A and B are shown apart, each in its own frame.
Chain A
Amino acid sequence: MNMKKIKDFFSLNEPENFDNNLLSYSVIKNNNEKKYNNQKLFKTLEQNEQYLKSIFNNCYDLTIRKISLYNENKGKIAIAYLNEFTTEKLINDSIINKFPLNLSAQNDIEESIKYTLAINDNNICENFAQCIDAILDGNVIIFSDMLNKAFIENIKSPPERSIEEPNIESTIRGPREGFTESMSKNIILLRKKIKNINLKTEKHTIGKNVKSNIVICYMEDAVDKKILEEVKARIRKINIDTFASNYVLEAISDDKFSLVPTIFKTERPDVAASKLLEGKILILVDNTPIVLSIPALFVEFMQASDDYYTNYIPATLNRCFRYIGLMITLTLPGIYVALVTFHHELIPTPFITTIIKARAGIPLPSMWECFLMLSAYEIIREAGLRIPKTIGQTVSIVGTLILGEAAARAGIVSEPMIIVVAFVGTALYTIPSPELNSMILFIRYIILLLGGALGIFGVLCGLLFLITYMTSRRSFGVPYMYPIMPFSLKRNEDVIVRTPIEKLDKKMKLFRR
């Protein structure tokens, strides 16, 4: 009884009975949802219309048009839709003009509507919940007099981007198409590549207030059933509103505080299709061009799609450089600072002159000098993301060249440090995945601090900790460093070395069971 009172207090006038309080239904949506969930359609057009209007009150974009179809006065149909989703012309062409003028009431109404509009049995609904979802999805709903059924006609033309080449994952010789925000287009892009009945697409709807569609794609013959069940279980638990795939990613990932990404993201259909063939599970989220691939291994983040579109010798070489770049961008600041502050004997004698001369008169200790420069670089980089493209080049030249040189000339930082920071900053972009990139920034700072405090010993401790950490990660139960640790020579054909595709295809790359 007490609970009831409190409830009443907060949700001002929670209706008990729909008939009396029609207008109050849309005040609090959650309550609303509960009520209309099981509400069946009414027999008369007026009742349906009134009910619909009450739910969509204060929504100017809901349009309900009534059309007389029959010779008799009372024979009418009503079409309801959100008018921004579609155009008048489309509705006239594909619904209204299709009805014959002399439809008589003696005909079976349901059959004749189904026949004229070519409506599928699945698109006939009997309760309001379905109707409302369909309207919100941009479909046109057709009610008819004397029929407690409604028909869903999908003629929406929502604003959509055309298929473009993704900016981040650009290739030299690969296909130029990328995923878009439209789910249907994305699925078409995948189906176009994999013409196989084993490609399954399961639709789930998640979210509390916003109903978003997510689709789980997998190859039935290649996927691991346990992982699939796990993914589905985790998706069912999602109870947040999602607008982007990262919302889903954070909701289903193994470790919320992971230093390394454990779910792979891509914007390229060709990459996504090859992941499917490897036995991975894709998660497509509506309204986002980023597709998630599960489970993800560390080596995937070091593979670029161009590796498979060029000869395997340069591809292998590029991969080696990528791993070297990874090591450099992680450890170079830490090692440089350690050498300069602790291990002077490890610097070659001719080089020590240069460093000493460059460092003479610098007010900051090397570690803080490096810290300052790295932070300055990151600030300029972060600013560069948001600088308007028209003035971007000027600003970046001022930011990097002039700032760096002026700082060196003014004696705030030394030249070798500028070289180190510039090299480290550039080497970061050898890594193809932006997810791994952004985590490296953080780890690099830790290694820098360790190097500055404990020398090479500290750098080694940091690396050891990192390696231990990475080997102990799991992505949906799969060891994160899989072909490297636990080591498998057979699966190492696509890690540092990119074996010729023919041989690779037989073993079907990394993950396939």
Chain B
Amino acid sequence: MKKIFNKFIIMLLILSMPTISFTGCKDATEIEKLAVILAVGFDVTSDNDYQVSIEIMDSITLISKGRQTITYCAKGETVFKAIDNIYKNIGQKFNYAHIQYIVIGDNMAKKGIASIIDFSLRYNQIRPTIPFLVTNGEARDIIETNICTNVIPAISVTDLLNLQRNRGETIYTTNLDFVNSIAHGSRSTTCGLINIDKHKLDTHVNYNLSGAAVFNKDKLVGYLSTRETVGLNWIRGDINRYIVMIEYPENYKISLDVTDSSSNTDIDMSENNNVNIKVNIKSRSFIREMTGMVDPNKNPSIMDILSKRQNEIIYNDAYLVINKAQRDFQLDIFDFGNTIMRKYPNQWDYMKNNWNDAFKNMKIDINVDSRVNKTGVLSKPPI
């Protein structure tokens, strides 16, 4: 009996050891005492202070109708000071682990976002997988908009992002991607563009998530249109669902549904350090909509014609963005620099300082190989 009692005491001691030495209990917070931050927006004010808007989970409203989040806004000299100032308004501890996206206002982005990236990567609670978005106006408007697609507006943005990312109309750049591409390689990157859609046909207030913003290091230098963004995604091979429109036969339109696409970049360096870049794009699609009276199942060569026309469309889209990058921005937004760095690390060492200058005159070959291989349920249009 005594032996067992001793054993019991030893067991208790062993169990209490971690309780004392590991500071687990210090971080214990009941979940309802947390202010779960869902989205953060950054702006810069006229007197050069940071203005932070946050969207937090509303724990008071019991009726689950309408928007379930509250927004707060505060100013401060640094990013974290601004967030800290919000504590004056709420009596809850912030939890940063559930941030869905970070949106940056136009002014702020032009000024430089190094402080935001540092803030988002330094604190261990913030995930390195938060997508960055840029807005043309103030980030505060994006955070404060009443959106009707989800009771939590931040989640409606992530839903939108995931869908648009597959459609190739936006760029999905997380904070870790951002820092990876501006720290080395071509030192420039792109991220998605979000705005409040004012020219919509219906009456609901909603977001418009299309297009992209181009960064040189941490500063915004310009925007890409939706079509240019699609071109950029063709080159990256990131498109999984996209509608390509072609004309066949003349004056009749066909919608092709791209189900799958991929690309690979071949970079060769000749002996006098001439860089040849070759992008091979592959895609597969099927007919979604057709009005002209042709029957591709009876005449399979029609499919080849459709493929050729599709090739042209994709080629044009891709070239559009390459032109823009080379002429307007003079920036390697495709991150070819990174590929070279991996393939030719020795040459890259003395190439990297004026890589963007070299890039603007570089010849980039695009080779599109697309296939249209299904007609859908119908062969020729019924009427």
Contacts and interface: CB of A to CB of B under 8 A. Distances in A.
A340 B31 contact: yes
Contact of B152 (A353, A359, A455): A353
A317 interface: no
B52 interface: no
Given A356-B36, A360-B32, 11 more contacts: A341-B31, A344-B29, A344-B31, A345-B97, A350-B152, A352-B98, A356-B57, A357-B61, A359-B32, A360-B60, A366-B31
B182 to A, nearest CB: 26
A58 interface: no
B30 A457 contact: no
B238 to A, nearest CB: 24
B152 A453 contact: no
A212 to B, nearest CB: 27
B19 interface: yes
A333 to B, nearest CB: 15
Contact of A453 (B25, B38, B127): B25
B24 A455 contact: yes
Interface string B15-47: 100110010110111111010101000000000
Q: Which 3 pairs from chain A and chain B are nearest by CB?
A: A345-B97, A359-B32, A454-B24
A352 B57 contact: yes
Contacts of B15: 450
Contacts of A404: none
A345 B125 contact: yes
A342 B18 contact: no
Interface in B30-75: 30-32, 34, 36, 38, 57, 59-62, 64, 68
B136 interface: no
A362 interface: yes
Contacts of A349: 36, 38, 98, 100, 152, 155
Contacts of A345: 95, 97-98, 125, 127
Contacts of A342: 24, 27-28
A450 B28 CA distance: 13
Nearest to A345: B97
A244 to B, nearest CB: 24
B201 interface: no
Interface residues of B, number: 32
Contacts of A450: 15
Interface string B139-167: 00000000000011001000000000000
Nearest to B24: A454
Interface of A: 257, 340-342, 344-345, 347, 349-350, 352-353, 355-357, 359-362, 365-366, 450, 453-455, 457-458, 461
Nearest to A256: B4
Contact of B24 (A356, A366, A458): A458
Interface of A is mostly: helix
B62 to A, nearest CB: 7
Contacts of A359: 30-32
A352 B25 contact: no
29 contacts: A340-B30, A342-B27, A342-B28, A344-B98, A345-B97, A345-B98, A345-B125, A349-B155, A352-B57, A352-B98, A353-B151, A355-B31, A356-B36, A356-B59, A357-B59, A359-B32, A360-B32, A360-B60, A362-B32, A365-B30, A366-B30, A450-B15, A453-B19, A454-B18, A454-B22, A454-B25, A455-B27, A455-B28, A458-B18
Contacts of A353: 57, 68, 151-152
Contact of A257 (B4, B29, B31, B97): B4
Contacts of B61: 357
Contacts of A453: 19, 24-25
Interface string B120-134: 000001010000000
Nearest to B11: A465
A198 B155 CA distance: 71
A457 B59 CA distance: 28
Taking each of A340, A341, A353, which has the highest tally of chain B beta carbons within 10 Å of its own beta carbon? A353
Interface of B: 4, 15, 18-19, 22, 24-25, 27-32, 34, 36, 38, 57, 59-62, 64, 68, 95, 97-98, 100, 125, 127, 151-152, 155
Contacts of B155: 349-350
Contacts of A366: 30-31
Contacts of A357: 59, 61-62, 64
A366 to B, nearest CB: 6
A455 B29 CA distance: 11
A454 B28 CA distance: 9
Contacts of A350: 152, 155
B96 to A, nearest CB: 9
Contacts of A454: 18-19, 22, 24-25
A366 B31 CA distance: 9
A454 B100 CA distance: 28
A341 B30 contact: yes
Nearest to B99: A349
A353 B22 CA distance: 30
Nearest to B31: A340
Contacts of A360: 32, 59-60, 62
Contacts of B31: 340-341, 344, 347, 352, 355-356, 359, 366
B353 to A, nearest CB: 40
Nearest to B34: A344
Nearest to A462: B15
B29 A341 contact: yes
A50 to B, nearest CB: 49
Contacts of B34: 344, 356
Nearest to B62: A357
Nearest to B29: A341
A113 to B, nearest CB: 56
Nearest to B7: A257
A461 B152 CA distance: 37
A51 to B, nearest CB: 45
A362 B31 CA distance: 11
A428 B179 CA distance: 49
B97 A344 contact: yes
Taking each of A357, A362, A450, A455, which has the highest tally of chain B beta carbons within 10 Å of its own beta carbon? A357
A345 B100 CA distance: 12
Contacts of B19: 453-454
A349 B57 CA distance: 10
B68 to A, nearest CB: 6
A428 B22 CA distance: 32
Contacts of B64: 357
Taking each of A356, A359, A450, A454, which has the highest tally of chain B beta carbons within 10 Å of its own beta carbon? A356
Contacts of B62: 357, 360
Nearest to A359: B32
B289 to A, nearest CB: 35
A359 to B, nearest CB: 4
A476 to B, nearest CB: 21
A344 B36 contact: yes
B29 to A, nearest CB: 7
Nearest to A355: B31
Nearest to A365: B30
